[in-house]
Structure 1
Amino acid sequence: MPGHREGVVVHGEVVKRGFDKDLFMRNDLISMYCRSGDVQFGRKLFDGFLSTDLVS
């Protein structure tokens, strides 16, 4: 499993390439931050997304 630093780099690429609009990608980003120990930022992402679903 990638560490927090690698996750931040991946998050940047996701946003840069426009994939952050995809609901599945959003859920994966939230999950990645929570699994890497940054639950507060994962929650911040969750709260910042306008559209979520039951899985989120």
Structure 2
Amino acid sequence: MTPNDYIRLERLKKAAQLLNEGECKINEVCYMTGFNTPSYFTKCFQKQFGVLPKDFVK
């Protein structure tokens, strides 16, 4: 695992935690965790967790 992979993983874990809390919208979580575009965030999130962020929230 490269350092960039590790940082991305930690950001995604934090994003999952924030989404579970349900207080923030997906776009807000995206920017709060350091992703520059929602599309890239969605791509990384789905690759890591196997579901889209919107489905993870449900």
| Same fold per superposition (TM over 0.5) | no
- The alignment's TM-score, normalised by the length of structure 1, stands at 0.41
